[in-house]
Structure 1
């Protein structure tokens, strides 16, 4: 049985008589009543239970989504309020549990409009980043046999991971989606966007803001190419060996000048040509958009 049931908000049912004579089990605010769900009256509506919580229809008010599928109103509303699972923002919860069509119903308009606004925010950010990375016309989008053929939005939303800042409650870029799949969940308090991070301080670009700040690799003196877990920046070699460098205690990391993968470089000149905090801490170099404008 679904874990939603014990915490569900219960709604009064409509109770208006249906053409079959049974009282309506839908929510009172609907202009048109939900179909009759009394066993034997409408046998084509499942096995007499809500597909989400597996409780009988009569245990709570029901709602028929625009796609035609019926659920307990409380189950669908709580699913939308709980939003995504884990740290990374995803939007699968906004689809019908049975047919995966976008959830739509007049009574859910207020909560869905807020979620759609969040989706549009992240979609815009992801497409801009896809263009910045020169992947807008990559084979993933142009190959007819590919998963994302002529779907740059789907490709961008899958490729890039976004997280909710624990301070300002706004979404921010947190790395490639593939990195999120190989790490345990992050403490929500550690998810902080560049705008709210003490690391950026006065280095936020006056033109592009904090969205495209370029970081130093946390583990060596190289520019970071990867942002993973919503918290950590890596250069390419350190990213490829992140299980080694990420698990090292700060005391065992090389001091500046530090090479990739925990290598101590000879001499005293930093390859970045700038002062920065000790290896193991996050540091902002500047604005990636301004530094790499030619990449557009």
Structure 2
């Protein structure tokens, strides 16, 4: 009798005496108070659950199906892509495409969002590896995605609706207090749409390198989803309280040509200037439009 009580109160134990993650999750769901049909929907708050068709999340929380659909249509808050909106509105428990126990109605609502998240996470892992998050190649793809989503910003292009890399999150946070850097959604345009003529045959437009907006150096930072900075101008940006640095004059005005080897509008102009594919340059092949080495030879 005592053994039976202990079994009812505790999750099944593994051979090592510790409950597995699945067993702990099952025990937690068993402790969850089942929603009553007379409870209000946790999203709209205005109507009881029994008034509308409902869907239940794997964690056990239940909501109106149309309220969940509206929440998913609204997607992430703000401009930077995040996926918290796909989780449970009450407890924030994540829902994955490979997760068992997802109701068919909820699975149908989430399917296009699963596909978009997979596309974004593939880009996040690739960019995180390029940014040096790979820990000497020892980091798993899942770890790269986790670190990348915490440190990098990705946006949805206003023209083609594809996700693209938009810089580091700490820059976005620093710019939040600057009214001059408020983002217009129409300004969020990927490299492929902002520079149709520049596209690497091997890697597409995702890794096209750009000129710094304020001087004649290759940009190493892309902030606010729209502005390219070299390391020096980016440092000046942060030191000045997120105010853009003064544009420098191009050396071409004194020496006849720009060290980048490309014609470009005056520094400070919002127009983006592409220099070629960064991945091709790293692999020591000559990227289209990037003339730094050819300048030194001439």
**TM-score of the two chains, using structure 2 as the length reference:** 0.70
Does the residue aligned with 2:119 lie in a helix, a strand or coil?
helix
- Following superposition, the deviation at residue 165 of structure 1 comes to 0.9
CA RMSD of aligned residues (A): 3.0
* 2:174 paired residue number: 182
Does the residue aligned with 1:161 lie in a helix, a strand or coil?
strand
- Following superposition, the deviation at residue 59 of structure 1 comes to 4.8
- Following superposition, the deviation at residue 82 of structure 1 comes to 0.5
* 1:274 paired residue number: 262
Aligned residue-pair number? 236
* 1:113 paired residue number: 111
* 1:284 paired residue number: 274
Instruction: Note the 1:1-296 alignment, pairs <5 A.
Output: 37-38=36-37, 48-57=39-48, 58-103=50-95, 104-137=102-135, 151-184=143-176, 185-197=182-194, 200-242=195-237, 244=240, 247=243, 253-257=247-251, 269-281=257-269, 282-293=272-283
Indicate conservation of the 8 Å contact 1:238/1:245, yes or no: no
For CA contacts below 8 A with separation 6 or more, give which structure has more relative contact order: 1
Indicate conservation of the 8 Å contact 1:219/1:245, yes or no: no
Indicate conservation of the 8 Å contact 2:35/2:62, yes or no: no
- Following superposition, the deviation at residue 50 of structure 1 comes to 2.4
Q: Distance in 2 between matches of 1:94 and 1:122?
A: 14
- Following superposition, the deviation at residue 222 of structure 1 comes to 0.9
Does the residue aligned with 1:86 lie in a helix, a strand or coil?
coil
Q: Distance in 1 between matches of 2:166 and 2:35?
A: 47
Mind listing any 5+ residue stretches in structure 1 that lack a counterpart? Answer: 1-34, 40-47, 143-147, 259-264
Indicate conservation of the 8 Å contact 2:213/2:267, yes or no: yes
Does the residue aligned with 1:157 lie in a helix, a strand or coil?
helix
Q: Deviation per CA, 1:59-103, whole angstroms, max 9, x where unpaired?
A: 544332222111222222211111001111110100012232234
Does the residue aligned with 2:192 lie in a helix, a strand or coil?
coil
Does the residue aligned with 2:106 lie in a helix, a strand or coil?
helix
Mind listing any 5+ residue stretches in structure 2 that lack a counterpart? Answer: 1-33, 96-101, 177-181, 285-298
Does the residue aligned with 1:181 lie in a helix, a strand or coil?
helix
- Distance change >3 Å, CA 56–CA 138, structure 1 → 2: farther
**TM-score of the two chains, using structure 1 as the length reference:** 0.70
Q: Give the helix-richer structure, 1 or 2.
A: 2
Q: Deviation per CA, 1:111-168, whole angstroms, max 9, x where unpaired?
A: 31111111111111111112222321169x87xxxxx9x7222002222211111111
